[in-house]
Chains A and B, each alone.
Chain A
Amino acid sequence: MPGRDRFDGDFDAVLTAARAGEARGIERIFVALSPVVEGYLRLQGAAEPQDLTSEVFLAVVRNIGSFAGDEASFRSWVFTIAHRRLLDERRRATRRPPPAPLDEAYRHRARNDVEQSALDALATERVRALCDRLGPNQRDVLLLRLLGRFTVEEVADVLDKSPGAVKALQRRGFRAIARLIEREGVPL
C-alpha cells in the first residue's frame, strides 16, 4: 500500500540507532511518522495537535527499548500510543465543546500554523468538521485507515476491536460522510 514505507527500506538500521539512543535514529523516526501522527491528532480534534505529537514521540523514545517487530508493527505501536494520548487528553478536558455547525466550522482557521497555507488550513478544517460529525468509533477507523494506511487487521489491533467490527465501522463511516456531503452540500 502506498505511503506505508516511510523509512526508505532502512527501518532496521533506524530502529537500532534509536534504541541505542542515537540522535540520528530518533530524528529519522520523528521525520518519518510525525506528519501522519499530527494529521491524525488534528483531524481527531486534538486541542494542541503539535504539542500532543511531541508527547507521543517522547513516549516512543522512552519506551522504544520494549518494542520488537517490523516497520508495520512499529507504526501500529506508535499510533496506539498516539490514540491513547488522545483519549487521555479528552479525559483531561473538563468539557469538550459540541461539534460546531459546518458553516461556522468552515470559517474557523487552524491556529498557530504559520507554515500551512490558507488553502491547506481551510481544507483541513473542512475535513475535520466532517469527521467531527461522525461517531467516535467510525472516525477512529476512517482516520487510521486513510491517514495511517493501516490494514483492517492493524486498525483492529490499535483500537482493540475485531476485524469484523472495523470493517462494519468503516463502511458506516464512509456512508455517513457521503450522506453529509450530499445532504449538506459540503464543498471539498
Chain B
Amino acid sequence: MNGPSDHDPQMPATALLDDDTIDALIEGRPVPDEHAPLAAFASLVQAAGDRMPPAPAPALARLMHEGVPRANGARPGAVAGAAAIAAGRRPVPRRHLVAKVAGIGIAAKIGLGVTAAAAGVVGAGAGGLLPDSADRVVRDAIEVVTPFGFGDDSGSGRGRTSEGPDGTDAPGTSAPGSAGFGEDVSSDATGESDGEPGVDGQDIADEAPGATNRPTDEPGSGTPSDTVPPAGDGPPPGVPPVTTGPPADVPGRGAPGVPGTVATSTTLASSEG
C-alpha cells in the first residue's frame, strides 16, 4: 500500500477540521474529544523540539567557544571556562568525557584506572565495608604505596609506625593503640624541669608557627589565648595564617589612623578591646 498523497481521494469527507481547531492543535489549546488523538500527535511532535541542544560538530563547537577568527587571527568575544557555563551552555555530555578518556594515552588510562580503583577500595576500607581479611590486605597495600601508616586495632603492635634511627618510635609518630604509646612524657609536662606540671598552652615556643604575629603580654592587650590560637591549632609551616579581615585587594576596615590597612585578627582584637 502506498502512503497517502497530498490529494488522497479516499479522504473521508466527515473528518472536518476547521482552521480554529487546527490553530488550537498547534497552540496546544483544548480541542473537541474526537480530535484528542490529533492533540496527542501534535504534543509529541512539539516535544521533539523541546529537548536539549544536540552536540555540535567540532567546527561549530570551536566557533561557539572562540568566535569567528578575524583576518588577524584574533577571535572576538571568546567564551571560555566559567564564562561559557554562565552563558548558558549545557553541561558537557558524559559521552564527551568518555571520548576524552578514550583519547588519552594507554599509560595514562592505566594510571587513571588504578587510581580510580584505589580510591574505591580505600574508600570502602576506610568505611569499614570490607571483611577483616580484605581490610588488612588493603591496609598493607596502602602502607606500601603511601606514606600513611595504620595502627593495629588489636593493640598487638602490628601497626607500622615511623621509626627513629635507632629503631625506636620517633616522637609524635606512634599511632594510637600501638605499644609504647604514652610511655614517654616530657619533663616539662611532669613538672620535673620547672616544678609546675604541664604547660597548659601558656608558653609557646618561638619556633612554633606564627610567632611573629603574636602580641606581647602587655596589660590591656588581652591574654594570648584571646587573640592567638594555640600553637597546635595553627596552620602548618608554609601555610599562611588565616586572618579575619577581607583580602588585601579589597578595601576593608583600616586600622585607626592608617588608611587602607587591613586589620588582622590581632589588630582587630586589640583595637576593639
Residues of A within 8 A of B (CB): 1-3, 17, 20-28, 30-31, 34-36, 38-40, 42-43, 49-51, 53-55, 57-58, 61, 99, 114-116, 120, 123-124, 126-127, 130-138, 142-143, 145-149, 167, 169-172, 174-179, 181-182, 188
| Interface: B38 (CB within 8 A) | yes
Which of B12, B26, B49 has the most chain A CB within a 10 Å cutoff?
B49
| Interface: B109 (CB within 8 A) | no
Measured in the bound complex, the distance between the Cα atoms of B94 and A17 in whole Å is 30
Nearest Cβ on chain B to A119's Cβ, whole angstroms: 11
Contact A135 B76 (CB under 8 A): no
| Interface: B131 (CB within 8 A) | no
Q: Say whether chain A's binding surface is mostly helix, strand, loop, or mixed.
A: helix
Residues of B within 8 A of A (CB): 3-8, 11-12, 15, 17, 19, 22, 25-28, 35, 37-38, 40-42, 44-57, 59-60, 63-70, 75-79, 84, 87-90, 93-95
Contact A127 B15 (CB under 8 A): no
> Count the A-B residue pairs with Cβ separation under 8 angstroms: how many?
186
User: What residues of B have a CB within 8 angstroms of the CB of A131 in the complex?
Assistant: 45
Given contacts A61-B68, A174-B17, contact A43 B48 (CB under 8 A): yes
Nearest Cβ on chain B to A129's Cβ, whole angstroms: 11
Contact B76 A99 (CB under 8 A): no
User: What residues of A have a CB within 8 angstroms of the CB of B69 in the complex?
Assistant: 21
Measured in the bound complex, the distance between the Cα atoms of B125 and A66 in whole Å is 64
Contact A26 B76 (CB under 8 A): no
B49 touches which of A35, A169, A179, A182 (Cβ 8 Å): A35
Contact B77 A20 (CB under 8 A): yes
B11 touches which of A145, A148, A176 (Cβ 8 Å): A176
Which residue in chain B gives the minimum CB-CB distance to A32? B53
